Structure 1
Amino acid sequence: MSQPSPLFENPKRERFFLFALAGIQFTHILDFMIMMPLGPQFIKALSINAHEFGWLLSAYTFAAAIAGIFATYYVDRFERRELLLRLYICFIVATVACGFAPNYHLLFIARACAGAFGGILGSLVQTIVADSIPFERRGKALGTVMAAFSVSTVAGVPLSLFLANHIEFLGWRAPFIFIGFVSLVILYIGYRNIPKISGHLHHVHEGSRFQQIYQIAIAHHHLRAFLFMGLIMITGFSVIPYIALYLTANVGIANSYISLIYLCGGVATLVSSRFIGHMADRYGKVLVFRVLAIVSLIPLIVTTNLVPVPLWVVLINSTAFFILISGRMIPAMALVSQLVEPRIRGTFMSLIGSIQMLASGLASVLAGVIVTITAEGKMEHYNLVGYGAAICGLLTFWLVGYMHSDSKK
């Protein structure tokens, strides 16, 4: 049995700690992801087009990017646990507000507020893992926390779709209210199991805070990390938001099977995420990332060029897509988190989080501009989005080598 980090007296405490962080990740990722499979419902209920739906998705990501930049000013000046729990309470309030939004514009504002708090939570959770778990075991720990992505698709997305389809008087509002209730449970678990983390406060910060942030932001190896993470997000999130729309409109998959597609992908990634983390720790983060980056291009290109085929073909391809696209993030985040020392890790990871959200927002907006819906309801030019995403994926294969060399400096 591996030894726990000095922050915990036994492995059981460490597991409960990681479970609480995974729960926080689960709810804020689900809050973002639920918009994607509900795309057809939002377009119909709110009388919007694909481009406006893309902006609705991007409200979350752009707000998260801006909030992450503001967070750099204070994130390393507060004790981690207190900051995490307070931000999580704000996120819960914003998410419930989405469920009560009466129209498109107020929903847009509520999504932006949820994104502002959710985006900071994402980078803060990863910062806490990096502060608490040694690098040698960090791949597996991040695999545990990032399994939240899988759980959100295994249970959350299908259940949310079920709620939206079967609670008729609430419709698309039901998933947001559901997330709010689940988040309250996670808040209690986090309150009981996340310890005080204040080691970063013991370091002396010289000079003005703005000068410190500026120096962190312009360092050459940090700029490479920002580009690396941005390209990773563009590779996935130019394609993911429109999968449900494309499968229903072009491939002929019934809307009722979208839940099954996310369910299969989620179950598979739930199993694979810890395995990928273990492989990254054992064989090296760079090697595992490069393998995943190349192999993931196969289901990506297939997804954006798919023609009407049997459901089992769609399930095989979409499951492989979710495993490989999400799997890249595990070795990538383990490498990036090691680039800086603990005293500035919160600031750096907040900037990383902002870049991730900004890149994913830009990706969904640009994809929304490229794709068009014909008078017959078919989606066109999705293949062009796939080719652009593949180019970005190839660039990450090259850039990851710099992450490894920079982390040793």
Structure 2
Amino acid sequence: MVMSPLGDMLMKSLNLKPSAFGIAVSAYAFSAGISGLLTAGFADKYDRKKLLLFFYAGFIAGTIFCGLAESYAVLVAARIITGLFGGVIGSISMAIITDIFALQQRGRVMGFIQMGFGASQVLGVPIGIYIATLWRWEAPFWMVAILSIMIAVTITIYLKPLTAHLALQHDKSAFTHLWHTVKNSDYRVGFTSTALLSIGGFMMMPFGSAFAVNNLGVNYNQLTMLLMVSGLSSLLIMPLIGKLSDKIDKFKIFAFASVWMMIMCVLYTNLGVTPLILVMVFNILMMMGIMSRMIPSSALTSAIPEMSDRGAFMSINSSLQQIAGGIAAAVAGLIVTQPSKGAPLQHYNTVGYVIVVISIISILLMRRVDKMTKRKLADKKAAIIPEEAFAH
């Protein structure tokens, strides 16, 4: 959300080709993925609050380093450092959410959590572009660092320790715990579905602002408005989708949203110079599809692991999500070309077609996750009924 909107500005100020910018975006994702895998075995060994604060502190330090970067090489190094710590934050947060809320409530909770993406567009992205235009491209990183420090203080004061999972640990070493998590066949289906979802979701993002400016004819002031409108629509849509996914079959919502997203991606990536109002409409419709599949898929995937494995599962899952996002950004950088600075991007529509293929496979995999989740719930109910009969 910081790097992608600054795409056109960074490519011009640092004289970068699309492939080089793709690496700058994916550097965070790859380091975050590797970090998550390395720490997965430890994710269920400590109080989740302490673990969250430790990695959040590292993320803040890395973000400050990004703000101090003066060259492309230093920026990439800073992004790698930020990713090493930032990659674990999401998985710890997901483990905390899953510990606290039952599956029947989780769709609504995920809806509010995913609102963070919408809020980052409504507030963070337009403000980021504005202060980057007012000062330099480094300014948004300082904004993120200052906000993160405030959030870290809030977590320290208000979040209670979360240690219930510690009583359920059976593996003596972190490596053994990691291996037991990875070799579980049900878990691997969840990991694969998450990775494919991330590839499909991240391929368009790195070059979204550059495509809007150079292909659709949107200027920087309009870009701020465009991102704010699409983000605001996300804020309105997310709670509704969250509530629906607790009432209607989660997989059906996911499948419908995926098909909708495929159609909108193909239409959007084939646009030429377009009036701003139409670009806004397309962005809102596309965001509806992208965000509406994230909520039910997150809720379904969160139901796969047992409580004793939840931290490790979420850590590996988040790592694969980050690595897949990095691969997506790097591959998009290889597909998309730009003949000269400020010229329209070429082959961006190819990215749209690749997303369609990946999304079809994602639907098939998420179907398997849905069946596993329903089977698991049925087994739990079957176990409860004899206990109740025995009590009577």
| Interval of TM-score (by shorter of Structure 1 and Structure 2) | over 0.9
For the pair 1:126 / 2:94, whether they are aligned, the reply is yes
Work out the CA distance in 2 between the residues paired with 1:274 and 1:55.
34
Cα pair 1:72 1:347 within 8 Å, conserved: yes
AA matched with 1:104: Y
Q: What SS is found at the alignment partner of 1:377?
A: coil
AA matched with 1:400: M
Task: Give the Å deviation of 1:398.
Answer: 1.6
Q: Alignment partner for residue 73 of structure 1, among 30, 41, 50?
A: 41
Where does residue 140 of structure 2 map in the other structure? 175
Instruction: Please say which of residues 146-155 and 393-402 is displaced more in the overlay.
Output: 393-402
Task: Give the Å deviation of 1:191.
Answer: 1.6
Work out the CA distance in 1 between the residues paired with 2:275 and 2:13.
29
Q: Alignment partner for residue 202 of structure 1, among 167, 187, 197?
A: 167
Where does residue 142 of structure 1 map in the other structure? 110
Work out the CA distance in 2 between the residues paired with 1:272 and 1:195.
30
Q: Alignment partner for residue 128 of structure 2, among 160, 164, 180?
A: 160
What percentage of aligned pairs have identical amino acids?
Answer: 31
Q: What SS is found at the alignment partner of 1:379?
A: coil
Work out the CA distance in 1 between the residues paired with 2:50 and 2:249.
34
- Residue deviations 1:5-55 (CA, integer Å, cap 9, x gap): xxxxxxxxxxxxxxxxxxxxxxxxxxxx11111111111221211110000
Q: Which runs of structure 2 are paired with 1:192-341 in the superposition (5 Å)?
A: 192-206=157-171, 208-341=173-306
Cα pair 2:29 2:325 within 8 Å, conserved: yes
- Residue deviations 1:108-138 (CA, integer Å, cap 9, x gap): 1111111121110011111110011111101
Where does residue 403 of structure 1 map in the other structure? 369
Work out the CA distance in 2 between the residues paired with 1:36 and 1:380.
18
The alignment of Structure 1 onto Structure 2 pairs a total of residues equal to: 374
- Residue deviations 1:382-406 (CA, integer Å, cap 9, x gap): 1111101011111112211111221
For the pair 1:361 / 2:326, whether they are aligned, the reply is yes
Find the structure with the greater CA-based Rg: 2
Work out the CA distance in 2 between the residues paired with 1:264 and 1:288.
24
- Residue deviations 1:263-322 (CA, integer Å, cap 9, x gap): 011101011111111100111211111111111112211121111221111000011212
AA matched with 1:164: A
Work out the CA distance in 1 between the residues paired with 2:139 and 2:172.
49
Task: Give the Å deviation of 1:377.
Answer: 1.3
- Residue deviations 1:189-220 (CA, integer Å, cap 9, x gap): 21222111101100131354323322311322
Work out the CA distance in 1 between the residues paired with 2:173 and 2:371.
30
Cα pair 2:218 2:276 within 8 Å, conserved: yes
Cα pair 1:36 1:242 within 8 Å, conserved: yes
Cα pair 2:253 2:292 within 8 Å, conserved: no
Stretches of structure 2 that go unaligned for 5 or more consecutive residues are 377-392
Where does residue 388 of structure 1 map in the other structure? 354
Q: What SS is found at the alignment partner of 1:190?
A: helix
Cα pair 1:261 1:319 within 8 Å, conserved: no
Work out the CA distance in 2 between the residues paired with 1:155 and 1:398.
35
Where does residue 57 of structure 1 map in the other structure? 25
Work out the CA distance in 2 between the residues paired with 1:49 and 1:255.
20
For the pair 1:101 / 2:69, whether they are aligned, the reply is yes
Task: Give the structure-2-normalised TM-score.
Answer: 0.93
Runs of 4+ in 1 over 4 A off after TM superposition: none
How much is the aligned-residue C-alpha RMSD, in angstroms? 1.3
Instruction: Please say which of residues 123-132 and 322-331 is displaced more in the overlay.
Output: 322-331
Instruction: Please say which of residues 116-125 and 202-211 is displaced more in the overlay.
Output: 202-211
AA matched with 2:358: C
Work out the CA distance in 2 between the residues paired with 1:48 and 1:76.
41
Task: Give the Å deviation of 1:61.
Answer: 0.3
Cα pair 1:135 1:334 within 8 Å, conserved: yes
Cα pair 1:67 1:120 within 8 Å, conserved: yes
Instruction: Please say which of residues 344-353 and 218-227 is displaced more in the overlay.
Output: 218-227
Cα pair 2:253 2:296 within 8 Å, conserved: yes
Work out the CA distance in 1 between the residues paired with 2:236 and 2:145.
26
AA matched with 1:44: K
